[in-house]
């Protein structure tokens, strides 16, 4: 979970909180984190509540949708 400036789409340039998951199966051509798809990628197990709290604690006011079921939300 990290804060950064969004570099894509209509929200480009806005401060954003990103939640990165291990083993994405989409393999997008523009992916800048293909390293996160390998079986030996380090990770931290977190509950839904822990993820939610980290996002809220980040102070980022606007949240962007992610990829869900192969379509962007």
Instruction: Encode pLDDT of 26-44 as tens digits.
Output: 878 878 788 888 888 888 8
- Residues composing the chain: 73
**Sheet strands (E) in the chain:** 2-5, 15-18, 67-68, 71-72
Distance in Å from the first CA to the final CA of the chain: 19
Instruction: Encode pLDDT of 43-65 as tens digits.
Output: 889 999 999 999 999 988 765 55
Residues in a beta bridge with 17: 3
Please state the pTM of the whole predicted model.
0.64
């Amino acid at each position: 979970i990290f804060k950064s400036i969004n570099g894509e789409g209509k929200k480009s340039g806005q401060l954003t909180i990103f939640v990165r998951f291990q083993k994405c199966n989409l393999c997008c051509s523009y992916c800048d984190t293909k390293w996160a798809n390998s079986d030996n990628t380090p990770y931290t197990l977190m509950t839904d509540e822990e993820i939610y709290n980290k996002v809220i604690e980040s102070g980022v006011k606007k949240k962007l949708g992610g990829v869900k079921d192969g379509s962007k939300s």
